[in-house]
Every structure is written in structure tokens, then in C-alpha cells.
Amino acid sequence: MSERTFLGYKRANGTVGVRNHVVVLPSVMCANHVVELIGRKVPDVITIGHPTGCAQVGADFEQTKRTMAGFAANPNVAAVLVVGLGCETNESKALAEEIAARGQRVEVIGIQESGGTTETIARGVAIAQELLREAAAHERTACPLSALIVGTECGGSDGFSGITANPALGYCSDRVVAEGGTVILAEVPELVGAEHLLAERASEPVAAKLYEMIERVEARARAMHVDIRGGNPTQGNIAGGLTTIEEKSLGAAYKGGSSALREVVEYADRPSERGLVVMDTPGQDIEQLTGMIAGGAQVVVFTTGRGTPTGSPIAPVIKVATNTTMFERMRENMDVNAGTIVDGTRTLEQVGDEIFDWIIEAANGREPAAEALGFRDFAINRIGPSF
Amino acid sequence: MPLSDDGAALHLKDDDDVAVALRPLAAGTAVRFGDGAGVSVATEIPTGHKFATRPIAGGALIRKYGQVIGRATGPIAPGEHVHVHNVEGTRGRGDLAKGSS
């Protein structure tokens, strides 16, 4: 373990943020417009919009609520204003209580209780301004790298993903783990065919849970009588040279590096172990990103071959290109070029070190492309229909 | 990672059936890996795509990264493009489940 540190925001609950956002979150989609209008009057807050929060039941509702609470309590967030309607399934005060239970500063207002749109916006603006004043008092201090949870993701993969960017990220992941930090490997459908390589590095109960998650994916394919090829790998993956889900998975699994798999967690759950952790998310990029951040990831590293601009409203997302052609074509969206590995100008380890340094710089406040461009992608993985 | 002599392709593991084109390879391009026998690619291979480095029997499992990536749907000759037209997945195949049409 090195003595390297980063300058983070130490939160009251013991977690460490790398950003200091105030978030305005609708508990239900019926509050999206009011949230957006609060954001127009107070542009320094981060507003979220989503199509969930009502007429949901069972595990689907629980997952939606857990994701919102985890996201709102991410240490990159200093405080949260929840805006509800008043009759929604995802009752705004109960959501606020769950956020508070995670040690987060939270306020809540309701549109019906406030007497309509205009008064809710007025109240929301006043609260948002007060939360911003409070947040401004927080300062960055030196924090150990072991406080970091780094989410890993690949999107728009191609035939180079498993040769350049993902192995380089894996080298970086091993460095994060060696520092006592945590790395999340997710997109479980994109581990189908590579699960045995992870299971070899896990205890028996952790391996059993991983196999159970993989079986859920294949059981869904059986229930739908479909070959998952076409949906995954996508048409773009196939155009980029990936032929089957096994091939994509073997390349994707490199992102996690070579350390022991310590834990397997459900979507949006915060890991309780440090080291390499698998989270059950779909391969769909935005739902995966949201799930990892709801699970506490402060920084995300995202590899891409085809060129994916995705970014989070609250966490820096570092983009690593798998090939030089795309890196140059989409220069404004990319941060690191791993194509240099096959160009022969840099080694895999050099690119891995650049990603590691980028993580620390991003933690210190440097904005990667997706953050500088203002991306606010947010989507919750649904596991049941609306009723 | 053994590169081909001219750096145009990558044969990742010794027991792999395929190599990956690092740049577009025109039909007829000869690719040689060290002391091993070379292959001549049968059709144009786009960047990032695979071609066979040895004969693959129909129905045989195909390896890349030293791992199984799928099954050949027919015989594949050395130098042939290896992709969705001649390889099927062995996993996530709900279409093969009982009751599927």
C-alpha cells in the first residue's frame, strides 16, 4: 500500500465523497417538472428526472426505492431535496427517511401538501439555496485511497475491448485493490461464459452466488425463448467484431483485474467488503451506471470501442477508448487512449497507470469529458411491470 | 501476446483457433506468426474481427483468449472470417429451450 491520498469530502457517516453536490430528486415521475423548474431557478443543484416511483409492487418497487436512496446517499452528494407528489407508491417521506437512515442530510416537500406547482417550486428553491449554503462549508481533506469505490463499465464494446482497454483497466483495478480500495465489476449478462474464471478466485459461497446470478440471466433467456445474441452482443458489438456473448464476456471480465473476488451484491447494494466485488446489473449502460453509483461508487471508469459518451449527474466517469481511430474521431468524449497498446506506442501497464492516475485526479476534482460536457444520465433497472 | 510478423494480427493464446485483425486485411493477405505456418485470409477481414488460424470442424468449439467463445456451425478453413455467419453461441441460448419454435 502506498502513501498516496486524494482530497475528498469526509461525510458524517464515515464515507468519503469526491464531489459536493446538492441533488433535487423526484420520488415519482409526476414531480419531474417541478424538480426541473427548481433547477432552472437554482442552477447549482443537480436535478434528476426518471420515469419511476408509482404503481410498482414487490421486488420491483423495493429495487427502485433502494436505488434512489443509495444514489441520494452516495458520498458525492452533500445533501438531498426529495420532491414528491403526495399519492405515489414511493411515498416521499418514507424515501427521505431511508435516505436519512443512511446518514445523509435530506429535506422533503410535496406538491399536493404545498398547494400546487408554484408554491412547491418556491419552497423548493428556498430549501435548495439553504442546502447549497450548508454544502459550501464542506472542505476537501486528504483521504486514503482505500476510501474509494471504483465502478467499472464497458459499453459499445468491440474486438479491441478485450485486448486493450479492459486488460489495462484490469491492471488499474489490481492497483486500486492493492491500495485497499474497492472495485465493482458489473453487467452480469456480460460475464456469461467467463464466470468460471471469477469463481476460481472466490470463496465457495461467493462463487455459488455468482453462478446463481449467471443462471438468472440464462433462465430469463429460456423463459423468453430467445438467443440473447442480437440484444447482447448488440448490432454495434457485432459490427465491431464480437461474435458471441461468451467472447464479449471474456473480454469484459478483464476489467476486474486478477485479485480475489470478495463479494457478490445485488443491484444498487453497497458492498460490505473491500477489494473486487461483482454487482448484479444489466449490461444496459445507464442502468448499470446508476446501480453502481447507488452502491456507493464515487468514480467510474468506462471503456468503449464504438464510442459511448455516457456520464453521471454526480460521479466522474472516465472514458477509455479501445482503439485510436475512435479516440481521434470522438476526441471530445474520450479521456484515455488504450488503442496505443496495439499501436505499439505504449504498454498495457502504462495505460493502466494512466487510468489509475486519472482516478486520483478525478477524485481530486478534475473533470473527465463526460462530466465537463454536463451529462446527467440516470436510469433505474426495473425488474417487474408497472401496475 | 504473439503479434504476426508484420504486426497486422494478434494470436492471443497458443491454443486459440482464431487471430484478431489489428487493421483491415485485404483478401489474399498472408499472415505469419513467428515459426508457425502462415495463413492467407480468404476475404477482407475488418479491424477487430477474427479469422481462423487452423482448420475448424463443423460443430467444434472455438477458442479465443484460451477459452470457448462459441461453436462452428460448419467447417471453417484457415484464413476464413470467423463471425456470426459461421459461429453460434453456446450460452444464453433460450431459443434452444424446450417449447421454443
Peptide bond into A233 cis (omega under 30): yes
- Give just the sign of the alpha carbon dihedral A166, A168, A174, A180: negative
For A56, other C-beta atoms within 10 Å of its C-beta total 23
Q: What is the pLDDT of residue B1?
A: 58
**CA angle, residues A324, A326, A332, in degrees to nearest 5:** 105
Cα(A348)–Cα(A341) distance, integer angstroms: 6
Joined together, the cell numbers standing for residue A246 give 461468451
Q: Express as a percent the part of chain A with pLDDT over 90.
A: 98
The two beta strands, A105-110 and B39-40, are unpaired
- How confident is the prediction along chain B (101 residues), in pLDDT tens digits per residue? 588 888 899 999 999 999 999 999 999 999 998 867 689 999 999 999 999 999 999 999 999 999 999 999 999 999 999 999 999 999 999 999 877 65
Strands (E), A177-249: 182-185
Q: What are phi and psi of A353, to 5 degrees?
A: -65, -40
Segment A52-93, tens digit of pLDDT: 999 999 999 999 999 999 999 999 999 999 999 999 999 999
B92–A197 CB contact, under 8 Å: no
Q: What is the pLDDT of residue B7?
A: 86
Class of the domain covering B1-101:
mainly beta
| Model confidence at A261: pLDDT above 80 | yes
Segment A17-36, tens digit of pLDDT: 999 999 999 999 999 999 99
Q: What is the pTM of this model?
A: 0.96
Interface test with B, best of A214, A229, A246 (most B CBs within 10 A): A246
Write the CA distances from A289 to A42, A107, A196, A376, integer angstroms: 26, 25, 24, 11
Joined together, the cell numbers standing for residue A289 give 451506471
Name the average pLDDT for chain A. Answer: 97
Chain B residue with CA closest to A305: the answer is B48
Buried b (16+ CB within 10 A) or exposed e, A164-179: bbbbbbbbbbbbbbeb
What is the count of residue pairs from A and B with beta carbons less than 8 Å apart? 111
A159–B100 CB contact, under 8 Å: no
Q: Do the Cβ atoms of A163 and B10 come closer than 8 Å?
A: yes
Q: What is the pLDDT of residue A231?
A: 85
Segment A168-195 mean pLDDT: 98
- Give just the sign of the alpha carbon dihedral B30, B33, B34, B39: negative
Segment A104-162, tens digit of pLDDT: 999 999 999 999 999 999 999 999 999 999 999 999 999 999 999 999 999 999 999 99
Chain A residue with CA closest to B21: the answer is A159
Joined together, the cell numbers standing for residue A70 give 443509495
The closest of A301, A193, A321, A367 to B71, measured between CA atoms, is A193
Q: Do the Cβ atoms of A344 and A14 come closer than 8 Å?
A: no
Give the dihedral of Cα atoms B77, B79, B84, B88; nearest 10 deg: 40
Q: What is the pLDDT of residue B97?
A: 85
**CA angle, residues A261, A185, A283, in degrees to nearest 5:** 140
Query: Does A241 reach chain B within 8 Å, measured CB to CB?
Result: yes
B65–A189 CB contact, under 8 Å: no
Q: Which residue has the higher pLDDT, B1 or A322?
A: A322
Q: What is the pLDDT of residue B100?
A: 64
Interface predicted TM-score (ipTM): 0.96
Residue with cell 417550486: A121
Q: Domain ranges in chain B?
A: 1-101
Query: Does B89 reach chain A within 8 Å, measured CB to CB?
Result: yes
Query: Does A305 reach chain B within 8 Å, measured CB to CB?
Result: yes
Q: Residues of B with CB below 8 A from A247's CB?
A: 64, 69-70
Interface test with A, best of B12, B51, B61, B69 (most A CBs within 10 A): B69
Q: Express as a percent the part of chain A with pLDDT over 70.
A: 100
Strands (E), chain A: 5-10, 16-17, 21-26, 46-47, 77-84, 105-110, 141-144, 149-154, 182-185, 261-265, 275-279, 299-304, 317-321, 336-337
Segment A7-24 mean pLDDT: 97
Q: Please, what is the angle between helix A92-101 and helix A58-72, to 10°?
A: 60
Cα(A172)–Cα(A278) distance, integer angstroms: 16
Q: What is the pLDDT of residue B8?
A: 92
Query: Does B63 reach chain A within 8 Å, measured CB to CB?
Result: no
Q: What is the pLDDT of residue B5?
A: 81
Q: Residues of B with CB below 8 A from A189's CB?
A: 92
Q: What are phi and psi of B12, to 5 degrees?
A: -70, -45
Q: Residues of A with CB below 8 A from B51's CB?
A: none
Which residue among A159, A197, A221 places its CB closest to the CB of B92?
Answer: A221
Query: Does B73 reach chain A within 8 Å, measured CB to CB?
Result: no
Amino acid identity at A131: L
B89–A246 CB contact, under 8 Å: yes
Segment A186-223, tens digit of pLDDT: 999 999 999 999 999 999 999 999 999 999 999 999 99
Cα(A366)–Cα(A354) distance, integer angstroms: 14
Amino acid identity at A172: C
CA distance A148 to chain B (A): 31
